[in-house]
């Protein structure tokens, strides 16, 4: 069965700091990759997605992620975080005939003004 | 605002009750999902429907019974639940199962408490 690992469970940054959240998955076949964000009191929203093509994908709100197939990784980055980025971030992988989306445990990001 | 609508937002039920959770989307998506999320845990897949047919059941106990009456609606019927079933139940939909359009759109969830 596939699994998704997020290395940082709780990250605290000051505003304008750079962000990188790690995500690794274990599945040897073709994958679709996602990052979702959950702001306090809100529903899960898609931040960005990778299906094929350019491994560097750009999402909403200045976020980007890079798919490195050889490392089974899909790390999320943002050059300069804002207080409004405070949220929980989930990496997710779609495999198994593409029906099943498996989520990582999530990373709580706290941005201090 | 999410385009996936879930009702009710909160539900409290006893272990002998029968209740249902409802989910509706009007985006023309052909795949719909139920997830369960416990506190401080990621969402866990329960069921997948594709073109109104049950495609995946992740070994969910029979006290949870999904139903997809049409392409826009997804229900989760609850009967004889246990207190450990208390959780946030998330509905999601996607345009298709694989490739572009396979990303999930989530509702706000139904928070269930079983007494």
Distance from CA of A60 to the nearest CA of B (A): 15
Cβ contacts below 8 Å, chain A against chain B, sum to 60
Residue the block writes with tokens 């899909």: A74
**How confident is the model at residue A110, as a pLDDT?**
97
Distance (Å) of CA B75 to CA A37, A93, B10, B21 = 25, 25, 15, 6
Higher pLDDT, B99 or A81: A81
Tokens of B90: 């998330």
**How confident is the model at residue B96, as a pLDDT?**
82
Mean pLDDT of A57-82: 96
Residues 6+ apart with CB under 8 A from A93: A2, A4, A25, A27, A31, A32, A33, A34, A74, A101, A102
**How confident is the model at residue B94, as a pLDDT?**
92
Cβ within 8 Å, pair A102-B107:
no
Mean pLDDT of A50-69: 94
Chain B residues within an 8 Å CB radius of A92 = 104
- Radius of gyration over every alpha carbon of chain B, rounded to an integer in angstroms: 13
Q: Which of B5, B6, B23, B43 to mutate to test the interface with A (most CBs of A within 10 A)?
A: B43
**How confident is the model at residue A97, as a pLDDT?**
66
Chain A residues within an 8 Å CB radius of B42 = 90, 103-106
Phi and psi at residue B84, to the nearest 5°:
-70, -5
Distance from CA of B84 to the nearest CA of A (A): 20
Q: Pick A99's closest partner by Cβ from B2, B42, B97.
A: B97
Instruction: Give the pLDDT band of residue A98 (cuts 50, 70, 90).
Output: low
Instruction: Give pLDDT tens digits along chain B (115 positions).
Output: 569 999 999 999 999 899 999 999 999 999 999 999 998 889 999 999 999 999 989 999 999 999 999 989 999 999 999 999 999 999 999 998 777 778 899 999 999 999 9
State the greatest distance between any 2 C-alpha atoms of chain A, in Å, as a whole number: 44
d(CA A42, CA A52): 29
Tell me what the pLDDT averaged over chain A comes to: 92
């Amino acid at each position: 069965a596939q699994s998704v690992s997020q290395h940082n469970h709780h990250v605290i940054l000051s505003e304008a700091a750079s962000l990188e959240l790690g995500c690794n998955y274990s599945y040897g076949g073709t994958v679709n990759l996602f990052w979702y964000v959950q702001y306090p009191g809100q529903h899960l929203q898609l931040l960005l997605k990778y299906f094929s093509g350019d491994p560097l994908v750009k999402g909403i709100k200045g976020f980007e992620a890079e798919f490195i197939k050889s490392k089974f990784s899909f790390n999320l980055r943002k050059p300069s975080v804002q207080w409004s980025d405070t949220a929980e971030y989930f990496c997710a992988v779609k495999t198994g005939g593409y029906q099943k989306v498996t989520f990582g445990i999530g990373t709580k990001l706290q941005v201090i003004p | 605002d999410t385009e996936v609508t879930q009702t009710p937002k909160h539900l409290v039920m006893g272990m002998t009750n029968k209740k249902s959770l409802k989910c509706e989307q009007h985006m023309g998506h052909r795949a719909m999902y139920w997830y369960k999320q416990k506190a401080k845990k990621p969402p866990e897949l329960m069921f997948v429907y594709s073109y109104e047919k049950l495609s995946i059941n992740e070994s969910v106990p029979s006290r949870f019974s999904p139903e997809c009456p049409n392409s826009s609606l997804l229900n989760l019927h609850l009967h004889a639940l246990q207190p450990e079933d208390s959780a946030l139940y998330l509905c999601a939909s996607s345009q298709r199962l694989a490739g572009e359009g396979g990303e999930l759109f989530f509702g706000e969830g139904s928070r269930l408490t079983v007494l």
